[in-house]
Amino acid sequence: MCYYNGQKVTRDEYIRLKNLEKLVANYKFLNRDVEVGFDFGPTVVLKPIPGKQDFEIVTMEWGFIPDPLAWPFIETREQLNNFRRGFTDARGKFVKYDFLNAVSEELLFKNKVYRRAALERRCIILSTGFYDWRHIFPLNKRTGEPRKTAEKYPYRVMLNGREYFWMAGIWNPFEDADTGEYVESCAIVTPAANEVMEQIHNSKKRMPTMLTDDLAFDWLFKPMNEKEITALAQWQIPYQDMSYYTLKKDFLNSTDPLQPHFYADLPLLDVPGGDMNIAVAANGDNGGGQIELF
């Protein structure tokens, strides 16, 4: 978590984001409803300009590539692909590393691949909504006990009143020792889930570090000690500031992946202060949708 993200921003919003018309030439990379992390493709990142309180908008490979001089000692694209696909090690154990997310509590641990990047190369990853799955174990009609296999219900999660928002990230440069290929890669920072996300992403109970404008500025530019970095990485946005709705289970293959979908058998979330939880069923050509607003 988080392995699926959206980055679809309108032309006017994109111009406002940087207020530089010349960047409109790159607008095509901001027209994706859903990015699948396991594709390890390009994602849009706000990268600080050294020595300035300013940033540039770039694309980086989603999937942090560690320093080649540290574990797991990845020096070439071929080695990187093996780690991402998975392989059997000398002990006969299948291992796989994608480094798409960086656990906030462990960012600065001495033995973690993210430590130096968290200290020196923090960035912001743009989002128009991220995606997670809620696991529900239906009852066995014969025994009355929960089944061992869960039904998975996809949700799109956004920030109230914002068409795009910021997620804390870290980045790292990589150069292939064989080919000289240079690429910059990143990972999304994830803290423990808040009261809503622990019910949506109820398998792992994680969420991205969603930042306010002020906190995004701090993450990019403010000189911080290790305690401050860790605290900001673990910051949880208040659940009242979030909105979400359910999607079709096959939304990733849909021509309209953002279309809400209503599940009659899916219980509403148990939101603190339940009277704030308003469920709106919106009927449409595709069966309608359930949108829960705070």
pLDDT tens-digit map of 257-273: 999 999 998 998 988 76
Contact 186, 45 (CB under 8 A): yes
Q: How far apart are the first and last CA of the chain?
A: 23
CA atoms of 292 and 134, how far apart (whole Å): 14
CA atoms of 233 and 216, how far apart (whole Å): 11
pLDDT tens, residue by residue, 100-155? 999 999 999 999 999 999 999 999 999 999 999 999 998 887 787 888 889 999 99
* Cα dihedral sign, 222-227-229-234: negative
Count of CB atoms situated within 10 Å of the CB of 294: 16
Higher pLDDT, 185 or 216: 185
Is residue 22 pLDDT above 80, yes or no?
no
pLDDT tens, residue by residue, 187-204? 999 999 999 999 999 999
Report residue 70: phi and psi, to 5°: -120, 165
Is residue 292 pLDDT above 70, yes or no?
no
Tell me if residue 216 falls in helix, strand or coil.
Answer: helix
Question: Domain 4-131+162-237: which CATH class?
Answer: alpha beta
Domain ranges of the chain: 4-131+162-237
**Tokens 């997310």 appear where?**
101
Is residue 180 pLDDT above 90, yes or no?
yes
Is residue 280 pLDDT above 70, yes or no?
no
At 276 the pLDDT is 34
Cα atoms in the 13 Å half-sphere on the side-chain side of 9: 24
Q: What is the pTM of this model?
A: 0.85
Higher pLDDT, 210 or 4: 210
At 62 the pLDDT is 97
